[in-house]
Structure 1
Amino acid sequence: MPKISERGVAMPASPIRKLTPFADKAKEDGKKIYHLNIGQPDIETPETMLNALKNIDFKVWAYTPSEGTASYRNKLTEYYNKLNYNIDPENILVTNGGSEAITIAMQACMNPGDEIIIPEPFYANYNGFACSADVVVKPIISSIETGFALPAISEFEKLITSKTKAIAICNPNNPTGYLYSKQELTALKDLCLKHDLYLLSDEAYREFCYDGREFISPMHLPGLEQNVIVLDTVSKRYSACGARIGCLITKNKELYGTALKFAQARLSPSLEGQIAGEAAVDTPDSYFQAVSKEYTARRDMLVNGLNAIPGIYCPNPGGAFYVVAQLPIDNADKFCQWMLEDFSFQNQTVMMAPATGFYSTPGAGTNEVRLAYVLNQQDLKSALICLEKALTIYPGNTGQ
């Protein structure tokens, strides 16, 4: 039998989706599952996007330019310049989701064997993107005790070698919800300039900042223009995960030209996705205000509810719609599977993502889980009751 590739063997499976077979079996057995394991919001997609799809009237479903349609990139420029990014349409490369933006960025910036430093816990698929690009992830651990704040710059310095080519951040962060401050980003700017590194900024959750906190992008930091690559998507902003439209933004012309070659190799992003994305830019501010209010209420319910359960500690995140909580358990992977296979309260259970999948450091996150507050408040309340009941009977409870 022919062997599969070494890259295929090395490619990690998604830790977010690996428990799906157990969830499917639980549903077959009649259990109701509260899905807190994945960032699929139940917030309705804006009518502007849906109406644009309903009103499509093209006669030929044609290729689009590899960089995206001029119409969509012009509209995106309006959106980003309202945020003071000061860009032109020529700085925007439209991609098939944020995932492709990240993959193309890694391929365009780095040679095989080059290293990228990423604060962990981090979005699990960064490992997969790096594997596809033959790039080595160098994790730098952040601590739940500090709410997952950016590690000290001195710790970054320890990891930098001749192979280091970039640093990547997700702000606000998936999976922790941490919102990086201007002070932290300025420190990263100085580090990137000192060592001539790219700074990849995943901004999928830009719109979700709470308690009056300000979102700061590396695009706002003067002097870093040639180093910054913004990675974005319509998936979370407009609750349009199935649209699969994202973008890569850079003012570095050489880098843009290189990224475009990878985009040409995959031909083009989807026409209908760009039509919907273009319409989405006109989504009224009232939509985001209502969504922010709802997510703030969900966050408060989940964080307060978790911290009220004996043995649980959960920092209060400043953005996104995730929390990472520390539980009194022996093993998060084991516990999350047990919740689906062996536990039921009133024929209900909870699906969570073991935090181990968001770390690269062996042994890290073994008693932590990520929960996404993407369900309505009543469902979150029911999920919290299930979790508390489960911990009282879980054989691996370390707090009993």
Structure 2
Amino acid sequence: MCALIKQCEFIIANLHSNLYKTYNMPSISRKGIEMPESPIRKLVPYAEAAKKRGVSVFHLNIGQPDIKTPQVALDAVKNNTLETLAYARSEGSEEYRTKLAKYYVKNNIPVTADNLVITTGGSEALLFAMGSISDPGDEVIIPEPFYANYNGFATASGVTVVPVISKIENNFALPKIEEFEKLITSKTKAILICNPGNPTGYLYSEEEIEKLKKIVLKHDLFLIADEVYREFTYDGLTHTSVLSLDGLENNAIVVDSVSKRYSMCGARIGCIVSKNQEFIQTAIKFAQARLSPPTYALIASEAALDTPDSYFTDVKEEYVARRDTLISELEKIEGVTVANPKGAFYCVAQLPVKDSDHFAQWLLEDFNLNNETVMVAPASGFYSTPGEGKNQVRIAYVLNKLDLIRSVEILAAALKQYPN
């Protein structure tokens, strides 16, 4: 079935290419045609149009926290005395990497500055990781649903995503190890996880990470862990980093970012962390090719490391309260199934609709409740398996509790009126 789908995609790509040639236009690349739209951002024009009509939109679609950025980070930019905004070092300054390494050691991740490459956000970190370990046609196994841009990063790198499906019925738990092993071929280069998970909020246990360790060691694979939500774990549970386990020195790669940790999404500073020095040296070549990460953002990110622990204590308490409010309200709606997240600040809800893409657009174009509506992210874009997630949405609980209650009230009213 997957082969047939790929063949159909190839035929469509060629039809597009031939269409351009018919009208004597230069052709777009097959890679460009296959690049997926963001399920999070593709509906933005409809939201903007709704606002122009005077409709207020509650944004449940994107992981942009309303939590304040630590003042120490903002002050570092405001009060700096730079006279020339010069290039930074390609892999990030030694001072920042040394300070960042101390943060990791504090979190039971024993690394040094030489194990770090600073990137322009976690997105670039993932692109550098895929570029460093894979060639076109290679495969990466990813439990789905997964962060939607993994599809885009894979397409840009010429990598094939091989999904292993987790189900909302068991709260998106890690599929059985046997399911992973069935998918491993000579082209498999890595297993990629997001922990805690986006879009599901699933938190991998230490036992599950140990099982993944055994697989990658047995088959000589990389284990890439997107750990940008490390601080946000709930219900007394703790995060286990793939770099905290002995024996994975040559296999483990961590992707990280300041975006969610310090509510600094616009800074676009992330990093790759690995004890595999051959991998790090390869990633540095990619970093050199794009010159350097942004200097002001580096200044803010280095200062953010001085944020007191109390900041995270308060933020976690707020997110737990928001999660509990959102789940409680969603469970009141007939026909809605919702997974209970243990980390990050997202949940996946299954709705009594056939096509959540259409429903999400309809919410913005054709529906409002007293001049208010909601924007959600259709979940099909968080899968690579065709047809999966068509009746699901991702909801980010990044709004205050009163706004979340109102948002679910609007969603419930919309489901009653939705014609499909």
1:69 equivalent to 2:101? Answer: no
Matches within 5 A, 1:228-243: 228-243=252-267
Matches within 5 A, 1:326-365: 326-365=350-389
SS of 2:66 mapped into structure 1: coil
1:177 equivalent to 2:201? Answer: yes
**Corresponding residue for 1:374?**
398
Q: 1:277 aligns with which of 298, 301, 313?
A: 301
The gaps in structure 1 that reach 5 residues or longer are: none
CA distance in 1, matches of 2:86, 2:358: 48
1:55, CA displacement in angstroms?
1.0
1:251 equivalent to 2:262? Answer: no
Matches within 5 A, 1:1-400: 1-396=25-420
SS of 2:129 mapped into structure 1: helix
1:212, CA displacement in angstroms?
0.9
CA distance in 1, matches of 2:376, 2:74: 30
1:5, CA displacement in angstroms?
1.4
CA distance in 1, matches of 2:271, 2:240: 18
- Deviation track 1:117-174 (CA, whole Å, cap 9, x = no partner) reads 0000000100111111111110111000110011111001111100000000000000
1:43, CA displacement in angstroms?
0.5
Amino acid at match of 1:350: V
SS of 1:139 mapped into structure 2: strand
SS of 1:118 mapped into structure 2: strand
CA distance in 2, matches of 1:394, 1:9: 32
SS of 1:24 mapped into structure 2: helix
CA distance in 2, matches of 1:299, 1:394: 26
Pairs aligned (count): 396
Sequence identity percentage? 60
CA distance in 2, matches of 1:384, 1:323: 13
1:113, CA displacement in angstroms?
0.6
SS of 1:260 mapped into structure 2: helix
Q: Which runs of 4+ in 1 moved over 4 A?
A: none
1:186, CA displacement in angstroms?
0.6
SS of 1:302 mapped into structure 2: helix
SS of 2:250 mapped into structure 1: coil
- In the superposition, the TM-score normalised over structure 1's length comes to 0.98
Amino acid at match of 2:177: I
1:225, CA displacement in angstroms?
1.1
CA distance in 2, matches of 1:22, 1:63: 38
Amino acid at match of 1:183: E
CA distance in 2, matches of 1:257, 1:388: 52
Amino acid at match of 2:353: I
CA RMSD of aligned residues (A): 0.7
